Amino acid sequence: MGNAPSVLVVVDVQNGFLSEFSSPVVPTIVDLVERWQASGGDTIFTRYLNPPGSQYERLMRWTELRDSPAIDIVEELSLCAAKATAVIDKTIYSLFNEEGVAVVKEHGWTDLYICGIDTNSCVLKTAVDAFERDLTPWILTDASASHSGVHVHDAGLLVATKFIGIDQLITSDQIRAS
């Protein structure tokens, strides 16, 4: 688990995305990240920030995740985030902003094991962007959730099967050693 050229990408597990639907996945993510890092695997954490005037505000009237504590990575993952290879702040859905692209390229990662919140947006978009960059995305279905509900999480997984292939959706116990 977790040898180069693979990386575990922990997407937006932030206080502002916790709900009755997404909170239950946090212990699964913590366990996964702790095991991954203990095996020497690289990790990236992303943190979504929603600046005033963003497209999210302008088009969706969504003004959440502007400051602490909403933007903070959940406390249960703070020690893991401190040990991460990188923590990428982003204002887009995907890991693949300029900094994210550079970190992935610099480390030569080819397989991205992606988990986090929200399955239907930031997890999905990161996986699709990896696919379109000729990388191999894996969505960890048991370590992802949507704060909007299970039906939205399931919809994200369904769309992912069409974007990246059904075989790319796995559970954390199916991660291949690379």
Domains of the chain are 6-174 (3.40.50.850)
Residues contacting residue 62 through CB under 8 Å, at least 6 positions apart: 50, 56
Query: What does pTM read for this prediction?
Result: 0.96
Please, which pLDDT band fits residue 178 given cuts at 50, 70 and 90? very low
Chain segment 88-108, per-residue pLDDT in tens: 999 999 999 999 999 999 999
* C-beta of residue 59 within 8 angstroms of C-beta of residue 17: no
Chain segment 34-63, per-residue pLDDT in tens: 999 999 999 999 999 999 999 999 999 999
Please, which pLDDT band fits residue 1 given cuts at 50, 70 and 90? low
Residue 43 confidence (pLDDT): 98
| pLDDT of 2 above 60 | no
Chain segment 68-92, per-residue pLDDT in tens: 999 999 999 999 999 999 999 999 9
Chain segment 108-154, per-residue pLDDT in tens: 999 999 999 999 999 999 999 999 999 999 999 999 999 999 999 99
C-alpha–C-alpha distance, residues 61 and 116, integer Å:
23
Please state, rounded to an integer, the average pLDDT across all residues of the chain: 96
| pLDDT of 4 above 60 | no
